[in-house]
Amino acid sequence: MSERPPLASETCEGNWCDDPVHRDWLRRDAVKQLDFFRPSLRKDGGFDILNWDGTPRAGVPLELHITTRLVHSYALGAAFGDNGAAAIIDAGMERLWNGHRDTTHGGYVWSIDGNIVADATKLAYGHVFVLLAGANARQAGHPDADRLIDDVTAVIDRHFWDDDKGLLREEFNQDWSTFSTYRGMNANMHGVEALLAAFEATGREIYLDRAGRILAFFIGRIAPDHHWRIPEHYTEDWQLDRAYAGNPMFRPAGTTPGHSLELGRLLLQHWDLAGRPENQSPERARKLIERALDDAWLAEGGLCYTLDYSGEVAIRDRYWWPVAEAIGAISTLQRIDPRDSDERWYRKLWRFADGHFIDHKNGGWYPELDEAGAPVERQFLGKPDIYHSLQAVILPLVGAPSGIFPLLKR
């Protein structure tokens, strides 16, 4: 085990985000993550999932969110000064256009195995990540970004965006025939993320407007009626579906505190991009974030995965991504409306991540813990992606709710 550098100065009495030792620690972890995930890129231009030690895990179909998140993350890496980021961005953009893209029916299939379609389902979740990848590739200066943004925007307009509701439809067969009337919070939340990135990359107001409409539904209507928790699952007419229980990993019943943390931060990003209007966005974001932290933090440390509709812990499993998202959310609150409790949470979250999730020997973060707090492989194969954990170190460094790319380039 390599020596663990200190998270912050022993004498730091203010915010860790302003402490030179902590900021240096964040930069080092960003570099270590970018180096660890670099072997994801295969010689043939595809990507592999990595084992805990960084070796490729062969035989796993390439899912759309893996390709897109690598493009997104290494676009951030390029702005951060990573000299090897371009190769991964280039390969990811090529794989999206000539691998995942369906040249017959349009849109982007969920997974591919080499040049063969493994799962042809068309998901809103996957398509908004294509938009995110295109937007951030544009900010990184990629020459093919505009065609990807325009193509996936047209697909979203045609099939996923419900303008009457101001929300995204969920899923289709490859030929766009309907097999489900399910509606979900998760795809819409990541839709906000992608739409805001697209607005930052292009300046097109339609992206900002649509993100605002999604936020108005979940945070303006749903969250206040559910004690600032956000139910995950809905019917076709956007009524809460309390009986729904899908895949226990990807569509678990109840509410998911980690998603509230993400959405709270995205609300602050939207508010900032909209010119910081005099509205309730900062207060609402705080309510979402604080409710999620108070509900989900376990006595043994870490954040549980899900709650039931009464707010009681349902799935106790502890994954890396809610802790990573909590760090990003609380560090954003600290820059807008700082409170003593924010710094306490920030330090608690980083101490837990440093002691349990971060692999100080190999790099990257372990994705899940067992009951004793040790890394374990149950739901996730290897280290699935860099997306959440890289943002956990980048967002506190940037110190602003929007405009990450130009700030990183300074």
Catalytic positions? 259, 388
Distance CA 38, CA 30 (A): 12
Distance CA 33, CA 3 (A): 17
Handedness of CA 236, 237, 238, 239 (dihedral sign): negative
Distance CA 142, CA 81 (A): 15
Give the DSSP H/E element, type plus range, for residue 172: strand 171-172
Contacts for 182 with CB less than 8 Å, ≥ 6 apart: 170, 171, 233, 234, 236, 244, 246
What is the greatest pairwise CA distance in the chain?
A: 62
Distance CA 221, CA 230 (A): 10
DSSP letter assigned to residue 364 = S
Structure tokens at 216: 């108005």
Structure tokens at 276: 């910081």
Distance CA 232, CA 190 (A): 13
Q: Are 94 and 163 in contact, with CB atoms under 8 Å apart?
A: no
Closest CA to 35 of 91, 84, 76, 69: 84
Number of helices and strands (H, E) in the chain? 14, 15
Handedness of CA 14, 20, 24, 30 (dihedral sign): positive
Neighbours of 34 (CB within 10 A): 25
